[in-house]
Structure 1
Amino acid sequence: MTKAASARSLLRTATASAHARVDDAFGGFDLDDRDGYRSFLMAQAGPLLTAEAAIDAFAPAALLTDWPERSRAALIRADLADLDAPAPKPEPFDVRSDAAALGVIYVLEGSRLGGAMLARNVPMDLPARFIRCAPEPKRWQELIKVLDRHLVTPDQHAVAADAARAVFDLFWRSARQHGRMFVVE
């Protein structure tokens, strides 16, 4: 008997192309330049604030009791304020189920891992509370356990993957809007 694939593994596979598209889009930002870094933060802020507001409205305490501590909205707002850039208002984005909430949170928590890699390109004189908010292995492991506990049916996996792809799309569209490069569709 073979072991069933983990929810994380299923989400990673289902969102691989969307994730790669976002990585490519954000790879074009110049993080060691103040203006480029400001553009990068603006491109990150819209989707992050939108997704976090949707999770806050859904109130996932039963799923993830430490959700408020995971939020990075205040960090990115502070960094943008230090760069004299206004934080964008969240877009409408509904989360209507536990599975959808977990798909959104999966992307948000995964972006911490990417941020940790990008943070080394940001000069020390630029505000970097958001990008240097390192992922905590214990929290990532807890999220993986939550995913496996709550995403057990094919329908739940599909809903989570759809929500995750929708968040990746928010990030991709924002990178196109704020980036200085042409992004291929």
Structure 2
Amino acid sequence: MSRSDPARVFGQTAETPGRAATPPIDGPVPSVHLRLKQATRLDHETVDQAMSGFDLTDRDAYGAFLQLNHTAMIALRPHWRAADAVDFDALVEALAADLAALGLRPSPPADPLAGRIDGLGLSYVVRGSRLGSRILRRRVGPGLPTAYLDLRLGEPWARLLDQLTARGTADPDDTTALIAGARATFAVYERLARPMAAAA
């Protein structure tokens, strides 16, 4: 089975154009975005490694990839921000359409998540994952449906970065819940990906 490049499966693989690169350790205090990125780096890499087991040229493996993403979005839905609902509902609908085109049904719902996940931290992970969608789209086998990977979100990534900045400006110390929310979101994908990728 061929495998995807794990460094590019889950998006957020390059600096956003027009945004400053990582400053030196003895430089200015890192932005909220940079602190979040650094704090979740290992979580991101773990998910990328787990997701790399899906061969998107294979119909069955690609179907499992879509089911995983659908299951994750449904599990996370109670924790979405209202501001994300339109875009995230569109992702769920696109996933359902692709699954239907493959003659597949969504996987059974995952167990409910314990506690509350910070919505902005969740949004950082889900919206960040879309940055790699064009790369993944090129790896999909011919004739397979791609509504999910083709979908462009209405809210740009730069707006999410502005929201992170605004939150850091309002309370520079309020990063614990944000980081925990992002890590919890990565954990949902990792927990679902490992057994499904192994089966695929």
CA contact (8 A) 1:54 1:94 kept: no
Partner SS state of residue 23, structure 1: helix
Partner of 2:167 in structure 1? 150
The structure 1 residue matched to 2:85, chosen from 68, 71, 74, is 68
Kindly indicate whether residue 105 of structure 2 is the aligned counterpart of residue 86 of structure 1: yes
Cα distance in structure 2, aligned partners of 1:25 and 1:162: 20
Partner of 1:19 in structure 2? 44
Deviation at 1:107, TM superposition (A): 0.4
User: Structure 1 pair 125/95, CA: closer, same or farther in 2 (3 Å)?
Assistant: farther
Cα distance in structure 1, aligned partners of 2:161 and 2:138: 26
Q: Give deviations 1:137-182, integer Å, cap 9, x for gaps.
A: x611111001111244465211111111111111011111211279
Q: TM-score, normalised by structure 1?
A: 0.81
Structure 2 unaligned regions, length at least 5: 1-26
CA contact (8 A) 1:53 1:90 kept: no
Q: What is the CA RMSD across the aligned residues, in angstroms?
A: 2.5
Q: Give deviations 1:34-66, integer Å, cap 9, x for gaps.
A: 1110111122221122223421xxxx34xx3xx
Cα distance in structure 2, aligned partners of 1:12 and 1:42: 27
CA contact (8 A) 1:28 1:179 kept: yes
Deviation at 1:94, TM superposition (A): 6.2
Q: Give deviations 1:69-119, integer Å, cap 9, x for gaps.
A: 32111111111122222223254236747xx11000000101111222211
Match of 1:80, as an amino acid?
A: L
Partner SS state of residue 175, structure 2: helix
Match of 1:14, as an amino acid?
A: A
Partner of 1:37 in structure 2? 62
Partner of 1:101 in structure 2? 119
Cα distance in structure 1, aligned partners of 2:128 and 2:161: 11
Cα distance in structure 1, aligned partners of 2:185 and 2:133: 16
The structure 2 residue matched to 1:167, chosen from 164, 185, 191, is 185
Partner of 1:129 in structure 2? 147
Aligned positions, number: 171
Deviation at 1:132, TM superposition (A): 2.1
Q: Which deviates more from structure 2 when the two are superposed, residues 154-163 or residues 10-19?
A: 154-163
- Structure 1 consecutive aligned stretches of length 4 or more whose deviation exceeds 6 Å: none
CA contact (8 A) 2:87 2:153 kept: no
CA contact (8 A) 2:36 2:179 kept: yes
Match of 2:100, as an amino acid?
A: A
